[in-house]
């Protein structure tokens, strides 16, 4: 790959199998039923058992794959610990299932609270706050009416119940795993209090904070409609630059392990700063959020992608608002009209 980013492992592990990426560190992969069709999971070996980093979705297929893994490449030990990088369902889906089988659950406090709260918060119809969010984003009346009658995505659909109790991870905390000392470094933007683990010998468990080739989704949601996660993401990337080295092997939550973290962090910063500049230019004319996909994504957004595109668009608009570069006002339909300040 160009720009100093390399992939030492050309092929991912097959379903139910594992690839050793370093002494005592196995790379596993679980399927996802979406365009991004997988999530990476890692298992770190110690005498008392495996430490598993993230888990995949909670599903019958996911459990069957885990049973095969536990009977196959992980059969030497039980799973002693599960570490969550962040609270998103493809990473936390089977954490409670493994915890119920005896594993200790470790996560940042925010990640655990979000995950547990969301598994308990089942909504048969969109909340009033969600409908207001969609109205403010500029969805058409017929789309709003349809959404009001549909069951929204619920965490509990794909995340197993989580038992009460966890062990907290904090910034700069040290852990001894797989014969290495690891330092916890916290990122923000894609998910609040996202844990990354940096070893003393150049391994980095990056979760979705450090991905090659694709951008982690950075979205604003009805729970916190005024949030500015893009600024948090950019600040995190710049903070990680102080710790990044060319020779580190990054073990990401998706795609292939890679080296070349310094140029990748620069890419991630430049990608979002470029998107913000294009969006700012696009707002020479007042527009709703739903009319701002083109400058951000520079491709056609299909129906399956609209939800993700919308929350990311609002995130970039909120960033421009915080920077004092745009204004917003409500139109007659109750949607925000965003406009560049001259």
328 is written with which tokens? 């917003």
How far apart are alpha carbons 188 and 166 in whole angstroms?
A: 21
What is the predicted pLDDT for the residue at 2?
Answer: 52
Please count the CA atoms within 13 angstroms of the CA of 266 that sit on its side-chain side: 9
Collect all residues with Cβ–Cβ distance below 8 Å to 259 and sequence separation of at least 6. Answer: 5, 6, 8, 246, 247, 248, 249, 250
How far apart (Å, rounded) are the C-alpha atoms in residues 310 and 337? 15
pLDDT for the residue 174: 98
Six-digit token string for 288: 């709703």
What tokens were used for 224? 């916190």
Domain limits, the chain: 19-123+154-281
Q: Which long-range contacts (CB under 8 A, 24 or more apart) does 222-225 make?
A: 222/127, 222/129, 222/130, 222/132, 222/133, 223/129, 225/129, 225/133, 225/136, 225/314
The reported pLDDT for the residue numbered 300 is 86
CA distances from 107 to 79, 87, 132, 219 (A): 16, 9, 32, 21
3-state secondary structure (DSSP) of residue 170: coil
Alpha helices of 75-177 — where are they, by DSSP H?
89-92, 95-100, 109-120, 128-137, 141-149
User: How much is the pLDDT for 302?
Assistant: 83
Residue 3 has a pLDDT of 74
Tokens in use for 164?
Answer: 């009460």
* CB of 169 closer than 8 Å to CB of 59: no
Q: Using an 8 Å Cβ cutoff, are 254 and 237 in contact?
A: no
CATH for the stretch 19-123+154-281: 3.60.15.10
3-state secondary structure of 144: helix
With a CB cutoff of 8 Å and minimum separation 6, the contacts of 271 are 215
Measured CA to CA, the distance from residue 229 to residue 218 in angstroms comes to 6
DSSP-derived secondary structure letter, 159: S
Let me know: does 272 contact 233? Beta carbons within 8 Å: yes
Tokens of 313: 């668009």
Q: Helix axis angle, 306-322 relative to 261-282, nearest 10°? A: 80
DSSP string of 261-330, one letter each residue? HHHHHHHHHHHHHHHHHHHHHHTTS-B-GGG-HHHHH-SPPPGGGHHHHHHHHHHHHHHHHHTTSEEEEE
Within a 10 A sphere around the Cβ of 286, how many other Cβ atoms? 16
Task: Give me the tens of pLDDT residue by residue for the chain, a chain 342 residues long.
Answer: 457 899 999 999 999 999 999 999 999 999 999 889 999 999 999 999 999 999 999 999 999 999 999 999 999 999 999 999 999 999 999 999 999 999 999 999 999 999 999 999 999 999 999 999 999 999 999 999 999 999 999 999 999 999 999 999 999 999 999 999 999 999 999 999 999 999 999 999 999 999 999 889 999 999 999 999 999 999 999 999 999 999 999 999 999 999 999 999 999 999 999 999 999 999 999 999 999 999 999 888 888 788 999 999 999 999 999 999 999 999 999 999 999 997
Q: Are 155 and 221 in contact (CB under 8 A)?
A: no
HSE of 124, CA atoms in CB hemisphere, 13 A: 0
């Amino acid at each position: 790959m160009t720009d100093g980013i390399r992939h030492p492992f050309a092929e991912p592990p097959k379903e139910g199998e594992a690839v050793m990426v370093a002494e005592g560190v196995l790379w596993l992969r679980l399927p996802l039923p979406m365009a991004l069709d997988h999530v990476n999971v890692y298992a770190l070996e110690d005498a008392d058992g495996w430490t598993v980093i993230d888990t995949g979705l909670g599903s019958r297929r996911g459990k069957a794959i885990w049973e095969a893994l536990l009977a196959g490449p992980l059969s030497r030990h039980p799973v002693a610990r599960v570490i969550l990088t962040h609270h998103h369902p493809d990473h936390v889906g089977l954490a409670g299932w493994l915890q119920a089988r005896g594993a200790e659950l470790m996560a940042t406090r925010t990640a655990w609270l979000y995950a547990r709260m969301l598994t308990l918060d089942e909504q048969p119809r969109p909340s009033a706050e969600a409908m207001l969010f969609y109205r403010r984003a500029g969805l058409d009346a017929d789309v709003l009416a349809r959404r009001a009658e549909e069951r929204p995505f619920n965490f509990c659909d794909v995340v197993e119940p989580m038992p009460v109790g966890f062990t907290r991870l904090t910034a700069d905390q040290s852990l001894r795993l797989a014969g290495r000392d690891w330092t916890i470094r916290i990122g923000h933007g894609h998910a609040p209090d996202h844990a990354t683990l940096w070893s003393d010998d150049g391994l980095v468990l990056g979760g979705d904070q450090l991905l090659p080739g694709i951008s982690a989704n950075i979205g604003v949601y009805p729970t916190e409609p005024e949030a500015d996660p893009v600024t948090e993401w950019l600040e995190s990337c710049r903070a990680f630059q102080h710790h990044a080295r060319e020779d580190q092997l990054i073990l990401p939550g998706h795609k292939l392990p890679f080296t070349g973290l310094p140029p990748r962090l620069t890419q991630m910063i430049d990608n979002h700063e470029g998107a913000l500049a294009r969006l700012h230019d696009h707002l020479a004319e007042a527009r709703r959020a739903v009319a701002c996909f083109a400058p951000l994504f520079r491709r056609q957004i299909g129906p399956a992608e609209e939800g993700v595109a919308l929350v990311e668009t609002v995130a970039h608009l909120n960033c421009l608002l915080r920077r004092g570069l745009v204004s917003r006002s409500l139109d007659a339909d109750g949607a925000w009209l965003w406009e560049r300040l001259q």
